[in-house]
Amino acid sequence: MSATLNATATATAGSAAPVDPACAEPLAVLGRDVTVPLVTGGEVTYAALDYAASAPALQRVWDDVAAYAPYYGSVHRGAGYLSQLSTDLFEQSRVTVAEFLDCRPCDQVVFTRSTTDSLNLLAAVLPAGCQVFVFETEHHASLLPWADARVTYLNAPRTPDEAVATLERALADRTASTEGGYGPALVCVTGASNVTGELWPVKELAAAAHAHGARIVLDAAQLAPHHPVSVQELDVDWVAFSGHKLYAPFGSGVLAGRADWLQEAEPYLAGGGASRTVARREDGGVDVEWHTTAARHEAGSPNVIGVYSIASACRALTEAGFKSLVAREQHLIAKVREGLAEVPAVRVLSLFGDDAPRVGVISFVVDGWNSSHFAAALSAEYGIGVRDGLFCAHPLVRTLLGSEPQAQGECGAPEAAPGERSLNAIRVSFGAGTPDEHVDRFVRAVRELVENGAQWQYRTQEGRCVPAV
């Protein structure tokens, strides 16, 4: 059992009796009754199977936001009742998120715009000379923010044990800084791949990092919506995630963890809210005293709606119980994987192999099909929304596909220039709000498209594959 699943077992131990996933109901989400037209005629209830990009809003989150909206006011800015209420709600949301992540008492919870924003914030506060270690398998949000640091990119591992061994070798061999000595180091790793859904050995990677004097940040964008995340159990220094993947699509994210690097660095953004006092100097300049709390990196008027929606989602998932949520999702994963395995033309992408524990994110390619064309047919002919392309994880997908481009079909991938052969895949993803019918329809649609072909003609328009009219 992986470290992440160990954390799950610990967090859910002692809860209710075993759940029958086939009988469990999905959580209520917005859009569950939306119908969409089919090119072949008629309408069908939309099957949203692109949770890894943005999950639909939980009905609970929407209801909580709607109930608060009339009381919306400025945060940390006003003496009026609504401002005071909004400030209390904002700060209580910080407490709720800290509890959801099982943070240490001294940790800070900083509200950002997204996982990408959170990791760029951490990159901006790295101590001088910090060396960063990141696997090439990361989402671009984790792969790209470290340009101003000394970065070591690690090759894609093929097993969890290899991931730990690769990191240990890299940390043991790291180069000394120009000032002498090794200086600070940071490891950045995902909790669950946004391409394969596979869980990474976070606890073991954290132990390896700490054994070599490094810190570690967990990209939990794809993990937090599917499994409990315990900062203390996993022993990570920071964790980052986005509201829009946690059923709270209102433009907020979280960076939670150790306070020292955050307090010692200049504010990520300079402006109101980050400053305690500002005074003119005789020479015409200004002296600024910055906050040492999380406010130091939250300049500007806070997105209280977004923050409150994250807290609402945290409460909703906790109350629903991750034990039942995980059991039901594993039931859906088994349905999809078993269905795809029955179609010989389908190849599911994986780093760690078929037996690796995973969340509801599965990517695949279909022999004889351009993935963009296949995804367009799923949408236009079956009302199923998936994602195609390289999923903002280009090095990983290229590694998994062996950098062998697919044959050019009627439509090219969004990443391919007009007329070029393309390298892309299809991703299906789901979660707490997905009904069985959606995955059943998806599996049936894949089989029918492979066996019978598309019923419609398609063309490339502005880089996207669309039905021809």
Which listed residue (130, 188, 392, 411) is catalytic? 392
Question: With contact defined as beta carbons under 8 Å apart, do 329 and 301 qualify?
Answer: no
Instruction: Mark whether 392 is an active-site residue.
Output: yes
**Selection from 138, 245, 135, 155 nearest residue 196 by Cα:** 138
Question: With contact defined as beta carbons under 8 Å apart, do 81 and 272 qualify?
Answer: no
Query: What residues pair up with 287 in beta bridges, in sequence order?
Result: 279
Sheet strands (E) in 264-344: 275-280, 286-290
Is 112 exposed, middle or buried, given 0-12, 13-18 or 19+ CB atoms closer than 10 A? buried
Q: Residue 143 gets which letter from DSSP?
A: H
Q: State how far the Cα of 223 lies from the Cα of 6, in Å rounded to an integer.
A: 14
At 450, list the tokens. Answer: 């492979």
Question: With contact defined as beta carbons under 8 Å apart, do 132 and 146 qualify?
Answer: yes
Q: State how far the Cα of 116 lies from the Cα of 102, in Å rounded to an integer.
A: 22
Question: With contact defined as beta carbons under 8 Å apart, do 458 and 373 qualify?
Answer: yes
DSSP string, 171-223: HHTPPPPTTSS---EEEEEESB-TTT-BBP-HHHHHHHHHHTT-EEEEE-TTT
Question: Which string of b and e fits 117-141 if b means at least 16 CB within 10 Å?
Answer: bbbbbbbbbbeebbbbbbbbbbbbb
At 224, list the tokens. Answer: 């937090």
Which helix (H) or strand (E) segment holds residue 458: the answer is strand 458-461
Which sequence positions are flagged as catalytic?
392
